[in-house]
Amino acid sequence: MQSLGPLRPRSTVLVKRPWLTKPFNWRGLSSIPPSDYSNQSRGGLPRFFSETLPSSKGGVIRVQGDEFWHMTKVLRLKTDDRVELFNGKGGLVEGFIQNIDRSSIDFVALEDPKLVLPQTPQWHIFAAFGSLKGGRADWLVEKCTELGASSVTPLLTQRSSTISDNRVERLQRVILAAAKQCQRLHEMKLNHPMKIDNLIPLVAKSKQSFIAIAEGTPLVSALTSTTKESSGLIIVGPEGDFTEKEVDLITEAGATAVGLGPHRLRVETATIAFLATLTLWSGSQQISNC
């Protein structure tokens, strides 16, 4: 799946310093397992996004744009305040604000940047939310980010056949804000909208995929009888549900049809209930395998 390119303005530039002579090298990052940063979601230093991180301790970069505004105008941070920068790819570094001017701040690293490895569960969401209104699509994407989904793909179906380009751009901003709020280090991918015909090969290749339908086997019951894979595809239809033909195509490709309870759920409710259940189940599988 091809993910959307960056939709945000460039927010950082590298500041030249005599002691900063080596180019940034990912191999220089120290890799640490997720467990070493398991408390990152429990407060701590303010965290901000930067596509560029200092290459080593003492390195300096300049933060501009939206993140500068958030630091200085919203949180009212001052010189010498300590913060963290992350790049959405697992990179994280702690430092402090050395200088503030009218349009940027200088960030000085207090340590070598770390590369935090992604968590094992890799759930990919395919949901037909293009027709949702009133901020409901924003809420869906925000909560998927917080719950740790690897990616979200707007699914184009017979009853939800379009999604506007400006909405996609807004959703990318929602993802970044949610990643900062929940202190997630690996930014969730927002993929290009996909038609059912293009989803079928992905279902066929996936070791595990689920589609939510009204008459499906209860999800928890289905999980107890499946393999102990902690990753796969989560497929949710539009308001009005999938057509019978669409369900047949997806299940014939290998997806397991599951139910999410006795009540009719909104698209965003079904997606979050689905993801939350599978995330908790994945966590229990990891613990039992230890």
Asked whether the predicted pLDDT for residue 44 surpasses 70, the reply is: yes
Q: Where is pLDDT greater, at 30 or 270? A: 270
CA distance linking residue 256 with residue 226, whole number of Å: 10
CA nearest to 237, candidates 205, 206, 202, 199: 199
% pLDDT > 70, the chain = 80
The gap from C-alpha 236 to its chain's centroid, in whole angstroms, comes to 18
CB 172, CB 190: distance < 8 Å: yes
CATH no. of 12-116: 2.40.240.20
Asked whether the predicted pLDDT for residue 21 surpasses 90, the reply is: no
The whole-chain average pLDDT of the chain stands at 84
CA 220, 222, 225, 226 torsion-angle sign:
negative
pLDDT at residue 148, as a whole number: 92
Residue spans of the domains in the chain: they are: 12-116, 122-289
pLDDT at residue 34, as a whole number: 43
pLDDT at residue 174, as a whole number: 94
Average pLDDT of 84-89? Answer: 94
Q: Each residue of 171-228: pLDDT tens digit?
A: 999 999 999 988 899 989 999 999 999 999 999 999 899 999 988 888 888 887 666 6
Q: Each residue of 113-147: pLDDT tens digit?
A: 999 988 767 899 999 998 888 899 999 999 999 99
pTM of the model: 0.78
pLDDT at residue 284, as a whole number: 66
Asked whether the predicted pLDDT for residue 283 surpasses 80, the reply is: no
CA distance linking residue 104 with residue 132, whole number of Å: 37
Superfamily of domain 122-289: SPOUT methyltransferase, trefoil knot domain (3.40.1280.10)
The gap from C-alpha 82 to its chain's centroid, in whole angstroms, comes to 25
Rounded (10°) CA dihedral 78, 79, 81, 87: 100
Rounded (10°) CA dihedral 82, 27, 283, 148: 60
Q: Where is pLDDT greater, at 92 or 214? A: 92
CA distance linking residue 50 with residue 170, whole number of Å: 19
Residue 17: pLDDT band (50, 70, 90) is: very low
Average pLDDT of 283-288? Answer: 62
pLDDT at residue 221, as a whole number: 85
- Helical residues (DSSP H) of 44-132, grouped into ranges: 65-69
CA distance linking residue 25 with residue 36, whole number of Å: 22
Q: Each residue of 225-267: pLDDT tens digit?
A: 666 677 899 999 998 899 999 999 999 999 999 999 889 999 9
Q: Which of 14-28, 117-131, 274-288 is the least confident region?
A: 14-28
